[in-house]
Structure 1
Amino acid sequence: MAKPNKKGPTRTVDIFCSKCKNQLFKYRKGGKGALVKCFKERIVEDYTHTACLCPNCGQEFARDTLVRGTPALKMIGGKVTFK
Protein backbone atom coordinates (compact mmCIF):
# COMPACT_ATOMS: atom_id res chain seq x y z
CA MET A 1 0.00 0.00 0.00
CA ALA A 2 1.05 3.59 -0.59
CA LYS A 3 2.45 5.70 2.23
CA PRO A 4 0.78 9.03 3.07
CA ASN A 5 2.08 12.10 1.26
CA LYS A 6 5.14 13.46 3.13
CA LYS A 7 4.30 17.14 2.65
CA GLY A 8 0.65 16.56 3.35
CA PRO A 9 -2.22 19.00 3.03
CA THR A 10 -1.86 22.70 3.85
CA ARG A 11 -5.19 23.10 5.69
CA THR A 12 -4.76 22.82 9.45
CA VAL A 13 -7.49 21.93 11.94
CA ASP A 14 -7.56 22.26 15.72
CA ILE A 15 -8.41 19.02 17.53
CA PHE A 16 -10.18 19.24 20.90
CA CYS A 17 -11.17 16.80 23.65
CA SER A 18 -14.95 16.32 23.42
CA LYS A 19 -15.32 15.98 27.20
CA CYS A 20 -13.51 19.11 28.48
CA LYS A 21 -12.95 21.05 25.20
CA ASN A 22 -9.18 21.29 25.83
CA GLN A 23 -7.03 21.66 22.68
CA LEU A 24 -4.97 18.55 21.91
CA PHE A 25 -3.35 19.09 18.48
CA LYS A 26 -2.97 21.34 15.50
CA TYR A 27 -3.08 18.91 12.55
CA ARG A 28 -2.72 19.07 8.74
CA LYS A 29 -5.88 17.24 7.64
CA GLY A 30 -6.67 16.20 4.08
CA GLY A 31 -10.22 15.81 2.77
CA LYS A 32 -13.53 16.74 4.33
CA GLY A 33 -14.51 13.54 6.10
CA ALA A 34 -14.52 12.54 9.76
CA LEU A 35 -11.32 12.40 11.80
CA VAL A 36 -10.48 8.68 12.00
CA LYS A 37 -6.68 8.76 12.33
CA CYS A 38 -3.86 11.28 12.73
CA PHE A 39 -0.50 10.56 11.13
CA LYS A 40 2.20 11.65 13.60
CA GLU A 41 4.26 13.33 10.86
CA ARG A 42 1.33 15.67 10.09
CA ILE A 43 0.89 16.96 13.66
CA VAL A 44 2.06 20.59 13.64
CA GLU A 45 1.69 21.37 17.37
CA ASP A 46 1.16 18.84 20.15
CA TYR A 47 -0.40 20.12 23.39
CA THR A 48 -0.54 16.74 25.15
CA HIS A 49 2.02 15.65 27.77
CA THR A 50 1.34 11.91 27.57
CA ALA A 51 0.50 10.25 24.25
CA CYS A 52 -3.22 9.54 23.71
CA LEU A 53 -4.34 11.11 27.02
CA CYS A 54 -6.03 14.49 27.48
CA PRO A 55 -3.81 16.67 29.73
CA ASN A 56 -6.85 18.31 31.38
CA CYS A 57 -9.31 15.49 32.16
CA GLY A 58 -7.11 12.39 31.60
CA GLN A 59 -9.50 10.75 29.11
CA GLU A 60 -7.96 8.36 26.56
CA PHE A 61 -8.88 9.72 23.10
CA ALA A 62 -6.74 7.59 20.74
CA ARG A 63 -4.63 4.46 20.36
CA ASP A 64 -1.05 4.30 19.07
CA THR A 65 -0.85 2.21 15.87
CA LEU A 66 0.77 1.75 12.47
CA VAL A 67 -1.26 2.67 9.38
CA ARG A 68 0.30 1.69 6.03
CA GLY A 69 3.65 1.32 7.82
CA THR A 70 3.56 4.87 9.24
CA PRO A 71 3.10 5.76 12.94
CA ALA A 72 -0.37 7.14 13.59
CA LEU A 73 -2.97 7.76 16.28
CA LYS A 74 -6.26 5.96 15.70
CA MET A 75 -9.04 8.07 17.20
CA ILE A 76 -11.69 6.51 19.47
CA GLY A 77 -15.15 7.42 18.17
CA GLY A 78 -16.75 10.44 19.86
CA LYS A 79 -13.73 11.32 22.03
CA VAL A 80 -12.44 14.22 19.88
CA THR A 81 -13.88 17.11 17.87
CA PHE A 82 -12.19 19.40 15.36
CA LYS A 83 -12.67 22.84 13.79
Structure 2
Amino acid sequence: MAKPNKKGPTKTVDIFCAKCKAPLYKYRKGGKGALVKCFKERIVTDHTEQGGQCPGCGTEFARDTLVRGTPAFKMIGGKVFFK
Protein backbone atom coordinates (compact mmCIF):
# COMPACT_ATOMS: atom_id res chain seq x y z
CA MET A 1 0.00 0.00 0.00
CA ALA A 2 1.05 3.58 -0.59
CA LYS A 3 2.48 5.71 2.22
CA PRO A 4 0.68 8.93 3.19
CA ASN A 5 1.73 12.08 1.38
CA LYS A 6 4.78 13.62 3.14
CA LYS A 7 3.70 17.23 2.68
CA GLY A 8 0.11 16.42 3.45
CA PRO A 9 -2.91 18.73 3.40
CA THR A 10 -2.63 22.43 4.25
CA LYS A 11 -5.89 22.67 6.24
CA THR A 12 -5.28 22.32 9.99
CA VAL A 13 -7.79 21.30 12.66
CA ASP A 14 -7.57 21.61 16.44
CA ILE A 15 -8.17 18.35 18.32
CA PHE A 16 -9.60 18.46 21.85
CA CYS A 17 -10.40 15.94 24.61
CA ALA A 18 -14.13 15.16 24.70
CA LYS A 19 -14.14 14.81 28.50
CA CYS A 20 -12.31 17.94 29.74
CA LYS A 21 -12.02 20.01 26.50
CA ALA A 22 -8.21 20.27 26.85
CA PRO A 23 -6.33 20.97 23.58
CA LEU A 24 -4.39 17.94 22.35
CA TYR A 25 -3.06 18.54 18.83
CA LYS A 26 -3.06 20.91 15.89
CA TYR A 27 -3.20 18.49 12.93
CA ARG A 28 -3.08 18.71 9.12
CA LYS A 29 -6.19 16.70 8.24
CA GLY A 30 -7.22 15.70 4.75
CA GLY A 31 -10.81 15.09 3.70
CA LYS A 32 -14.17 15.73 5.34
CA GLY A 33 -14.64 12.49 7.28
CA ALA A 34 -14.34 11.54 10.91
CA LEU A 35 -11.02 11.60 12.74
CA VAL A 36 -9.93 7.95 12.80
CA LYS A 37 -6.13 8.26 12.90
CA CYS A 38 -3.45 10.91 13.21
CA PHE A 39 -0.18 10.41 11.36
CA LYS A 40 2.62 11.64 13.63
CA GLU A 41 4.38 13.45 10.78
CA ARG A 42 1.26 15.61 10.20
CA ILE A 43 0.97 16.84 13.82
CA VAL A 44 1.89 20.54 13.80
CA THR A 45 1.56 21.30 17.55
CA ASP A 46 1.54 18.67 20.30
CA HIS A 47 0.09 19.68 23.71
CA THR A 48 0.42 16.21 25.28
CA GLU A 49 3.29 15.05 27.49
CA GLN A 50 2.63 11.33 26.93
CA GLY A 51 1.46 10.13 23.52
CA GLY A 52 -2.20 9.13 23.56
CA GLN A 53 -3.04 10.53 27.02
CA CYS A 54 -4.88 13.76 27.78
CA PRO A 55 -2.77 16.25 29.79
CA GLY A 56 -5.87 17.55 31.60
CA CYS A 57 -7.73 14.46 32.81
CA GLY A 58 -5.33 11.61 31.97
CA THR A 59 -7.83 9.77 29.75
CA GLU A 60 -6.36 7.52 27.04
CA PHE A 61 -7.72 8.89 23.74
CA ALA A 62 -5.47 7.09 21.21
CA ARG A 63 -3.26 4.05 20.71
CA ASP A 64 0.20 4.03 19.16
CA THR A 65 0.24 2.01 15.91
CA LEU A 66 1.65 1.68 12.41
CA VAL A 67 -0.64 2.55 9.49
CA ARG A 68 0.75 1.66 6.05
CA GLY A 69 4.22 1.47 7.61
CA THR A 70 4.01 5.00 9.06
CA PRO A 71 3.78 5.79 12.82
CA ALA A 72 0.33 7.04 13.77
CA PHE A 73 -2.16 7.40 16.62
CA LYS A 74 -5.36 5.40 16.20
CA MET A 75 -8.15 7.38 17.87
CA ILE A 76 -10.57 5.72 20.28
CA GLY A 77 -14.16 6.52 19.27
CA GLY A 78 -15.87 9.31 21.21
CA LYS A 79 -12.77 10.39 23.17
CA VAL A 80 -11.82 13.37 20.95
CA PHE A 81 -13.47 16.01 18.79
CA PHE A 82 -12.05 18.54 16.35
CA LYS A 83 -12.86 22.04 15.07
Scaled by the length of structure 1, what TM-score is found? 1.00
Which stretches in structure 1 are left out of the alignment for 5+ residues?
none
Provide runs of 4+ in structure 1 moved above 2 Å: none
Q: Distance in 2 between matches of 1:9 and 1:51?
A: 22
Shift of 1:59: 0.2
Shift of 1:17: 0.1
Which stretches in structure 2 are left out of the alignment for 5+ residues?
none
Shift of 1:78: 0.2
Letter in 2 for 1:41: E
Shift of 1:79: 0.2
Alignment coverage as a number of residue pairs = 83
Partner of 2:19: 19
Partner of 2:28: 28
Identity %: 81
Residue 4 of structure 2 aligns to a residue whose secondary structure is coil
Shift of 1:41: 0.1
